[in-house]
């Protein structure tokens, strides 16, 4: 299981609207969404993962995934629906 959003009422769509590709920094995302599960890569890229429903099994959780470039700015993001 991983972290949920700082605001327990936040939806995946609201999280996606709170983050801007090419503009949002790690500090911006942390302030808007709260702490995440962080996966760093040797290349300098970093993935942050938020899970929506921590009470379900991992397979049943939706995820909001943010990819940061080595510069610390959001490069990509996506919602992975539950059950995938």
**What architecture does CATH give domain 12-80?**
2-Layer Sandwich (3.30)
Residue 14 contacts residue 52 (beta carbons within 8 Å): no
Residue 6 contacts residue 18 (beta carbons within 8 Å): no
* pLDDT tens digits, 38-83: 999 999 999 999 987 555 555 567 899 999 999 999 999 999 887 6
Tokens matching residue 29 = 């995302």
- Of 15, 33, 12, 34, the C-alpha closest to 81 is 12
Residue 3 contacts residue 36 (beta carbons within 8 Å): yes
* pLDDT tens digits, 11-31: 999 999 999 999 999 999 999
């Amino acid at each position: 299981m991983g972290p949920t959003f700082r605001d327990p009422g936040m939806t995946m769509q609201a999280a996606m609207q709170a983050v801007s590709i090419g503009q949002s920094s790690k500090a911006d995302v942390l302030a808007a969404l709260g702490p995440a599960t962080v996966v760093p890569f040797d290349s300098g890229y970093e993935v942050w993962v938020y899970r929506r429903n921590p009470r379900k099994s991992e397979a049943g959780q939706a995820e909001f995934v943010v990819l940061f470039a080595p510069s610390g700015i959001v490069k990509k993001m996506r919602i992975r629906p539950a059950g995938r």
